[in-house]
């Protein structure tokens, strides 16, 4: 049986060499190069925290737990406790109440949310004051920070170099019919 596994391991190693051109062991220390999530084409300086927040991407959502979240958590906890034996329900109810108070008082989510909201306001203020804008890159999920005038110029040159022209009337009505 041992020789069977050795044979399978040799076959697997050979297949890996053929597929990758080298063994799988050499790829462990290799760093993969990814595209940057934020490209800053302006002279605006962002702090490390602000850059990390921008690197989260355009789809990142700053949400803090609402009051209904805490209410739902308490109700679901109580429902779970009611399924327990009557003799131990009181002790679990006390433990759950203490834990819920501890979680509510810690408010780690709230602190993180407040910090991120503050950083987001700073980013928005920096971009607005410098007359810049954010745009989504053509491909990927990269955020591009560019001066508004530069962006307008790039769009204008693209349209003129590719021989776009304006049409005399809006074709939407015709298409709609």
Whether residue 176 is contained in a domain is answered as no
Whether residue 131 is contained in a domain is answered as yes
Nearest to 116 by CA among 165, 52, 163, 160: 52
Whether residue 4 is contained in a domain is answered as no
Cα 122 to chain centroid, rounded: 19
Q: What is the pLDDT of residue 26?
A: 47
At 147, give phi and psi (nearest 5°). Answer: -65, 140
Whether residue 15 is contained in a domain is answered as no
Segments of the chain with pLDDT less than 70: 1, 20-33, 63-67, 105-110
pTM over 0.75: no
Whether residue 90 is contained in a domain is answered as yes
Whether residue 7 is contained in a domain is answered as no
Cα 50 to chain centroid, rounded: 14
> Are 21 and 111 within 8 A, CB to CB?
no
Q: What is the pLDDT of residue 106?
A: 63
Question: Domain tally for the chain?
Answer: 1
145: helix, coil or strand? strand
**Full domain range(s) for residue 156:** 23-163
Nearest to 40 by CA among 50, 31, 27, 26: 50
């Amino acid at each position: 049986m041992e020789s069977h596994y050795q044979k399978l391991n040799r076959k697997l190693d050979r297949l890996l060499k053929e597929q990758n051109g080298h063994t799988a062991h050499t790829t462990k220390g290799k760093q993969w190069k990814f595209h940057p999530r934020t490209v800053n084409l302006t002279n605006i300086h962002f702090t490390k925290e602000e850059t990390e927040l921008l690197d989260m991407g355009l789809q990142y959502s700053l949400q803090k737990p609402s009051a209904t979240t805490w209410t739902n958590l308490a109700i679901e906890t109580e429902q779970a406790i009611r399924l327990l034996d009557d003799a131990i329900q009181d002790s679990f109810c006390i433990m759950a109440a203490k834990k819920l108070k501890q979680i509510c008082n810690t408010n780690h989510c709230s602190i993180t949310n407040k910090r991120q909201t503050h950083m987001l306001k700073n980013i928005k203020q920096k971009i607005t004051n410098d007359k810049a804008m954010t745009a989504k890159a053509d491909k990927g999920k990269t955020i591009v920070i560019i001066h508004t005038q530069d962006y307008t110029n790039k769009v204008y040159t693209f349209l003129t170099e590719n021989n776009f022209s304006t049409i005399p009337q809006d074709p939407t009505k015709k298409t709609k019919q």
